[in-house]
Amino acid sequence: MRSFVGIDYSINKPAITLYFKGFFHFFFFPLSLKKKDIQAYANIKDVTCINRDLGIVDTTKLSVSSLAKEHTKRSIELSNLILDTLDQHLFSDKDFEPSDCWLSSEGLAFSSSGDAALNLASNKGVFLAKLYEHINITNIFTYSPISIKSIAGCAKKECIKDKTCMIKAFCAEEFINDSDFKNKVADGTLIKTKNYYPGIDDIVDSYWCLKTMYLKEKLLGIPEFDYGKIHRA
């Protein structure tokens, strides 16, 4: 059975959107969340939030060698955590077929540079290598940030740095009205004071990664998207 995975990969707060057997499910792997934020996610039916409860690596207190070891250790641990989670929700399902699993992620921005970009690329490389080793997946796609924003209708200059643009576009996706996550984002339940709870934008970005792949590769298997393509033509 065909499955679709969109990943907004980052070191501190990666997120995933999964579509399988007619349903969307969302995953969030934050480095660290406050108890109130964790509780907010616990109340969303179609979101699995796994708090890693780790501190940010203090680059000022570690030697070059120790820093490299710590980054490597964390990248392996994060990759294993994500793969274990996907095992539970997808890979172990009797109807899962690796050859019909389609995975997309966001590439680095053209302006990315320095150690941060290198660490992110290295971390993502570890994950993709372990994923390929784990299930021999071959349908892997990477899209530029601007391509993903274009699919969401957020590529205009005033939207590029406005993270709420992608969230608003997600809320306007009328074809996934049965999603508890989408409905809670749309009705303001997941707004804390003035801003959304941490990670909402990352989960939304992973959704747009998935949809970008679906539309650009002209895939079939998500009736909600196919209906939308027909009625927006």
Task: For each of the domains in the chain, give its residue range(s) and CATH number, in order of start.
Answer: 3-228 (3.30.420.10)
Query: E-assigned strands of the chain?
Result: 3-8, 15-20, 23-28, 47-49, 101-106, 139-143, 191-192, 195-196
Tell me the residue type at 45. Answer: K
What is the mean predicted confidence (pLDDT) over 145-164?
88
pLDDT score at 175: 77
Q: Of the ranges 35-44, 96-105, 138-147, 171-180, which one carries the lowest mean pLDDT score?
A: 171-180
Please state, rounded to an integer, the average pLDDT across all residues of the chain: 89
Tell me the residue type at 131. Answer: L
What is the mean predicted confidence (pLDDT) over 173-179?
83
pLDDT score at 113: 57
pLDDT score at 127: 94
pLDDT score at 64: 85
pLDDT score at 39: 94
pLDDT score at 180: 95
- In the DSSP assignment, the letter for residue 57 is P
What is the token pair recorded at 218? 């002209």
- Residue reference for tokens 């921005």: 109
What is the token pair recorded at 207? 């959704």
Q: What is the CA radius of gyration of the chain?
A: 18
- Backbone dihedral angles phi then psi of residue 95, each to the nearest 5 degrees: -95, 0
Beta bridge partners of 102: 4, 139
Rounded to whole angstroms, the Cα distance separating 16 from 203 reads 6
Rounded to whole angstroms, the Cα distance separating 69 from 95 reads 38
pLDDT band at 233; cut points 50, 70, 90: very low
pLDDT score at 25: 97
Q: Of the ranges 88-97, 107-116, 130-139, 150-159, which one carries the lowest mean pLDDT score?
A: 107-116
Count how many Cα atoms sit within 13 Å of the Cα of residue 171 in the half-sphere of its side chain: 15
pLDDT band at 44; cut points 50, 70, 90: very high
What is the mean predicted confidence (pLDDT) over 187-214?
94
Residue 141: is it exposed, middle or buried by C-beta count within 10 angstroms (0-12/13-18/19+)?
middle
The CA-based diameter of the chain, rounded to the nearest angstrom, is 58
Q: Are 230 and 222 in contact (CB under 8 A)?
A: no
pLDDT score at 67: 83
Three-state DSSP state, 205: helix
- Residue reference for tokens 């969303």: 44
% of the chain residues with pLDDT over 90: 70
